[in-house]
Chains A and B, each alone.
Chain A
């Protein structure tokens, strides 16, 4: 057969799907063998393959937050560890946000893969490790003011050389985290995933030959670029802007503006975050990797989901984020919540800006938080230190054709909630409820999705808890005349009291949504609520039968139906 395009496209199709399946297999190893609930139940990780330049050539669908920054990450590492110094069987570990990373808990492990002694690319596993040292158990220090508060930083170093552990690195790292047995298990799982990927991709390259493989990867990226360009070409040219606010940074009681201007011209676009607030003292800052990731995430949501996800997709989209702002933080400011709070909110404003030219594709604001309630302590029964990252998200926004989904993880991730039966088995809490919040969604022709609530009661030993969330004051924005969603809340009821109060009232903190190290004692309760999504279109345009069904199903109370939708009477079966 000749090397003509149609033939290439068939080989390309086959190599692409084989590589995605390799990434998925890596992810399955990681999911099935990891220890942290945020990995194995939360699926907060990504497995990918890159070429030798760090271009992502394939990725499996686990957590999308991590992919946009990957090229930056690998390029940064290559500056410090030249490719020539790598050997077959080496594994590099890295988590430094100031070297291309997203935030300290996100650990990236790379393993180069070789065919006949020649470097062909890297297997990559990126995952959120629940406990990373620093000032709070669980990584999310709501009151951090420096990167050093947020956990143990690892510049790119080899944790394995020629398939053997480098014991010094392991010792140093495991001595600086609170749950070394778990962290050890998580890293073993990530290394297991890389080993699997390395074996499989080498087989694939051998099957097709190095030249065909390299050429196909290049073609594959060109192909994805071509598809992305044709999507953008269909967007009306113009300049579209949008803004949203992060309510505070945990340190100072003032809101921070997130602003974007999207310039669409022909088959390219520039996404410019200039105009966003100067960087905060607290941990809400985004790194440049986050600004990239959030932009690509938004663009992927508004374009054909069948486009292969590789670095070719990134080419027609340029991201500008001024240094020293909340969208591109300067060293050594803290930034852990930049990746869970600011990240989805940046993606949201890009979607919001593009709603002006793509109204039928856009979605009103989602809750846009990871909830990020973290806690740890000595387990009264297991005789071991534990740490947990509990993840909660609220409703999606309404769309031009459907209501927002209730209680779904923010679009920058695709994690799962921890089941109560797993949660209570692992951690000394009793979960008292797990419930949707009626009336929390923004009204509209298509309403937002509902937020939800979880109430925990501490049982036994003291628990140290922290949180980084948002939208306790800033509401989810609506589109085209819809209503805003209701705010979330974090409330406490200390043993012996009957009232529910915020951290500000209970513990004298500066923010209700971002705080570090409060102490929960036996019988203390905490209630976590995440907000509903914004509505799409005028509430009065909503079909009566949909309003009536919402009332019957208890998503909207009768009173709210009257107030928001003017539902006078009826609504009974």
Chain B
């Protein structure tokens, strides 16, 4: 690996940087303010920290540009082309509403105007049989109308049953390319070859919607870096945690919808390997939200059920990250029945918690942590920002007074409630999927994660905890460890009663070949791994379980094993199965990964016995205790302690509850609980 490897995570407030020097194995981390108007500005100026720009060999970038364009509805003007009779599918949606009893609810608008929807004459049936051949004149008429409209910047094509047969969609694309040269066209078969026309419409529309923006972004970024003499070897992080080239991103931008948060999961995956931990659950707690995900037997979990907001599904394969609106900035409030609640409203970065002294006066979780002595007002962000402890206390007291309690009681209650919200997120990725928390270690990062790790271990029944190095920049850290990854899938739909092994084998081969070709086109040809799976369910059910298949051909020996494995997985996941029932195979999937060279993480020095640098009063559930404070930078391998303790570092604070054990491993990670020998 030549030159510095730099991981960049562009967040809402800060852009995080991590650089790794393969020659010296030195890791450097830093932050720069995000420049929302021109996110490239924050990146380029942040890279100024590297003295010789030419030293940078490779940049991996996680960005929310696609997500924000959708959430803020700032994408392109899109036209939608579909089967005759079905142009209202994006508007009718699925008929359900966000929550019961909310009479004020307003149905989400799709990413297209109804006047920009066009129908073409064609019809394919579920079997793939063509009921009505595509009438090219109707496509030309749509193209003409699009041209006449003059405002359209991209086109999404979604024909019924295209996942069975892409022929009509491809023909539509060909005609559009001839009639509208230069117009970006997304077809549903390329974006999401899966059944359910609304979900596919929404995903395909989103792809077209962000295409022009991402394409412009990629071009400017390349140019800006080039102008500065920095490498143009820049890749973007996909929602599946893999990397893709800028050109590939411009072509399939929907792949980057959840780019940033994946970094933490990738880093977790490597840390699990490094620490020899089988199962990790991650908790990335920031100012306004908390992300949870799992790494099981060294592999992250994937989903295709994502909705970017209620009613706007984006169903491409992505790392399954559960996000809840709870973070350090979550506000305490008293509801109409006198119940103390925390969040989901947040003070955000502005006005921020009361202790930030930036205009906020209401009590946040961060204020509660300050009031309880868990965060030091003078050592926040490594002393770069001084917090106002009195303001934190005043804010918490205001709530306490209304409930007739002391400030400490309310601060503790706020933390309990905030923790319970996060336990809910942990439950949803563990217990709700049939996983036992007792088999896991909790990996907490983000600025606020290490503050809550110990309480969360207790509340969620997770025996071990890990606070990694650089918890505040952990996502960016993950980006220097990504692989190139392509997920391919195709709905086949056959039952175990009449399973066409030859066809299934053929589709599987085509999926693998296309994944390999897609990676090769981006230059990834080394260390290629292939994973195959099939989504199965009992005939009649509507949701599938993904069953891994360790072979490349379906035959008389291998196929029955797949059915058997499904029965077993159904039992494990749902607590029951239906032996002898007909099984339906829905989607075949193949993942192709080109493994990249990973940084070798340097060991920390051997410890000489942990010595506190100071002590202060910290309030725990059982009362206030004089608590030793440690400087993380001074801890070495093998250093150990028993709580109560506070471990401080520039972007985070770890709280160790009374009686809990902590140990520093060879790489400097803080291990808590069972992993520390409890």
Chain A positions near chain B (C-beta within 8 angstroms): 5-7, 9-10, 12-14, 17-18, 21, 24-25, 28-29, 31-37, 40-41, 43, 61, 64, 181-182, 184-185, 188, 191-192, 195-196, 199-200, 223-224, 226-227, 230-231, 297, 300-307, 309, 361, 363, 391-393, 399, 401-402, 405-409, 411, 414-417, 419-422, 424-425, 430-436, 452, 455, 552-555
* A-B pairs under 8 A by CB, number: 212
What 0/1 pattern do residues 416 to 440 of B give for CB contact below 8 A with A? 1100110010011001100000000
| B127: nearest chain-A partner, CB-CB | A381
Contacts of B163 on A, CB cut-off 8 Å? 421
Known contacts being A6-B413, A432-B85, is A191 close to B576, with CB within 8 Å?
A: yes
> Within 8 Å of chain A (Cβ to Cβ): is B337?
yes
Contacts of B103 on A, CB cut-off 8 Å? 301-302, 361, 363, 399, 411
B92 touches A407 (CB 8 A): yes
User: How many angstroms between the C-alpha atoms of A207 and B409 in the bound complex?
Assistant: 22
A434 touches B432 (CB 8 A): no
A409 touches B337 (CB 8 A): no
User: How many angstroms between the C-alpha atoms of A276 and B182 in the bound complex?
Assistant: 65
User: How many angstroms between the C-alpha atoms of A182 and B104 in the bound complex?
Assistant: 37
| A391: nearest chain-B partner, CB-CB | B95
> Within 8 Å of chain A (Cβ to Cβ): is B195?
yes
User: How many angstroms between the C-alpha atoms of A25 and B538 in the bound complex?
Assistant: 20
Contacts of A430 on B, CB cut-off 8 Å? 123, 125, 131
CB of B513, distance to nearest CB on chain A (Å): 26
Contact with A37, one of B99, B338, B413, B542 (Cβ below 8 angstroms): B542
Q: Can you show 19 pairs from A to B with CB atoms below 8 A apart?
A: A12-B339, A17-B420, A28-B432, A32-B542, A227-B336, A230-B336, A230-B337, A301-B103, A306-B335, A406-B91, A409-B97, A411-B103, A420-B160, A424-B125, A430-B131, A431-B85, A434-B92, A435-B88, A553-B114
A6 touches B404 (CB 8 A): yes
User: How many angstroms between the C-alpha atoms of A33 and B543 in the bound complex?
Assistant: 7
User: How many angstroms between the C-alpha atoms of A386 and B570 in the bound complex?
Assistant: 24
CB of A57, distance to nearest CB on chain B (Å): 16
Contact with A434, one of B85, B113, B338, B578 (Cβ below 8 angstroms): B85
Contacts of B416 on A, CB cut-off 8 Å? 10, 14
> Within 8 Å of chain A (Cβ to Cβ): is B540?
yes
B101 touches A6 (CB 8 A): no
Contacts of B404 on A, CB cut-off 8 Å? 6
Contacts of A223 on B, CB cut-off 8 Å? 337-339
Additional pairs, 11, CB under 8 Å, beyond known A226-B337, A401-B104, A417-B92: A12-B339, A14-B420, A17-B424, A18-B420, A64-B100, A302-B103, A363-B103, A405-B105, A419-B199, A553-B115, A554-B114
User: How many angstroms between the C-alpha atoms of A300 and B420 in the bound complex?
Assistant: 26
CB of B362, distance to nearest CB on chain A (Å): 18
CB of B262, distance to nearest CB on chain A (Å): 24
> Within 8 Å of chain A (Cβ to Cβ): is B71?
no
| B89: nearest chain-A partner, CB-CB | A434
B88 touches A434 (CB 8 A): yes
What 0/1 pattern do residues 112 to 128 of B give for CB contact below 8 A with A? 01110000000101100
> Within 8 Å of chain A (Cβ to Cβ): is B106?
yes
User: How many angstroms between the C-alpha atoms of A433 and B542 in the bound complex?
Assistant: 23
A420 touches B541 (CB 8 A): no
> Within 8 Å of chain A (Cβ to Cβ): is B23?
no
CB of A21, distance to nearest CB on chain B (Å): 6
B92 touches A13 (CB 8 A): no
> Within 8 Å of chain A (Cβ to Cβ): is B94?
yes
> Within 8 Å of chain A (Cβ to Cβ): is B341?
yes
A9 touches B125 (CB 8 A): no
> Within 8 Å of chain A (Cβ to Cβ): is B493?
yes
User: How many angstroms between the C-alpha atoms of A306 and B344 in the bound complex?
Assistant: 12
B86 touches A434 (CB 8 A): yes
Contacts of A230 on B, CB cut-off 8 Å? 336-337
> Within 8 Å of chain A (Cβ to Cβ): is B575?
yes
Known contacts being A14-B420, A434-B86, A552-B115, is A35 close to B540, with CB within 8 Å?
A: yes
Contacts of B51 on A, CB cut-off 8 Å? none
User: How many angstroms between the C-alpha atoms of A230 and B335 in the bound complex?
Assistant: 12
> Within 8 Å of chain A (Cβ to Cβ): is B502?
no
User: How many angstroms between the C-alpha atoms of A392 and B96 in the bound complex?
Assistant: 11
Size of B's binding interface in residues, CB under 8 A: 71
Contacts of B543 on A, CB cut-off 8 Å? 31-33, 40
A25 touches B431 (CB 8 A): yes
Contacts of A408 on B, CB cut-off 8 Å? 95-97, 107
B565-596 interface (Cβ within 8 A of A) = 570, 574-576, 578, 581
> Within 8 Å of chain A (Cβ to Cβ): is B198?
yes
Contact with A33, one of B106, B125, B198, B541 (Cβ below 8 angstroms): B541
Known contacts being A301-B101, A305-B101, A432-B85, is A421 close to B113, with CB within 8 Å?
A: no
User: How many angstroms between the C-alpha atoms of A391 and B424 in the bound complex?
Assistant: 33
> Within 8 Å of chain A (Cβ to Cβ): is B340?
yes
CB of A73, distance to nearest CB on chain B (Å): 19
In the A-B complex, the 3 residue pairs with the closest CB atoms:
A433-B85, A35-B540, A40-B542
User: How many angstroms between the C-alpha atoms of A401 and B104 in the bound complex?
Assistant: 8
> Within 8 Å of chain A (Cβ to Cβ): is B661?
no
What 0/1 pattern do residues 130 to 169 of B give for CB contact below 8 A with A? 0100000000000000000000000000001101000000
| B199: nearest chain-A partner, CB-CB | A419
B432 touches A25 (CB 8 A): yes
| B582: nearest chain-A partner, CB-CB | A181
CB of A431, distance to nearest CB on chain B (Å): 8
B178-211 interface (Cβ within 8 A of A) = 195-199
Contact with A422, one of B196, B335, B575 (Cβ below 8 angstroms): B196
> Within 8 Å of chain A (Cβ to Cβ): is B405?
yes
Contacts of A196 on B, CB cut-off 8 Å? 574-575
A416 touches B95 (CB 8 A): yes
CB of B365, distance to nearest CB on chain A (Å): 14
User: How many angstroms between the C-alpha atoms of A223 and B85 in the bound complex?
Assistant: 51
Contact with B100, one of A300, A392, A422 (Cβ below 8 angstroms): A300
| B339: nearest chain-A partner, CB-CB | A9
User: How many angstroms between the C-alpha atoms of A431 and B123 in the bound complex?
Assistant: 10
Contacts of A391 on B, CB cut-off 8 Å? 95
Most chain B CB inside 10 Å of its own CB: which residue of A17, A304, A421: A421
What 0/1 pattern do residues 326 to 342 of B give for CB contact below 8 A with A? 00000000011111110
B576 touches A422 (CB 8 A): no
User: How many angstroms between the C-alpha atoms of A181 and B584 in the bound complex?
Assistant: 14
> Within 8 Å of chain A (Cβ to Cβ): is B632?
no
CB of A485, distance to nearest CB on chain B (Å): 16
A304 touches B336 (CB 8 A): yes
CB of B573, distance to nearest CB on chain A (Å): 8
User: How many angstroms between the C-alpha atoms of A192 and B336 in the bound complex?
Assistant: 37
| B412: nearest chain-A partner, CB-CB | A10
> Within 8 Å of chain A (Cβ to Cβ): is B102?
yes
CB of A517, distance to nearest CB on chain B (Å): 24
> Within 8 Å of chain A (Cβ to Cβ): is B663?
no
Known contacts being A40-B541, A417-B95, is A436 close to B198, with CB within 8 Å?
A: no
B106 touches A402 (CB 8 A): yes
User: How many angstroms between the C-alpha atoms of A21 and B97 in the bound complex?
Assistant: 19
| A33: nearest chain-B partner, CB-CB | B574
> Within 8 Å of chain A (Cβ to Cβ): is B26?
no
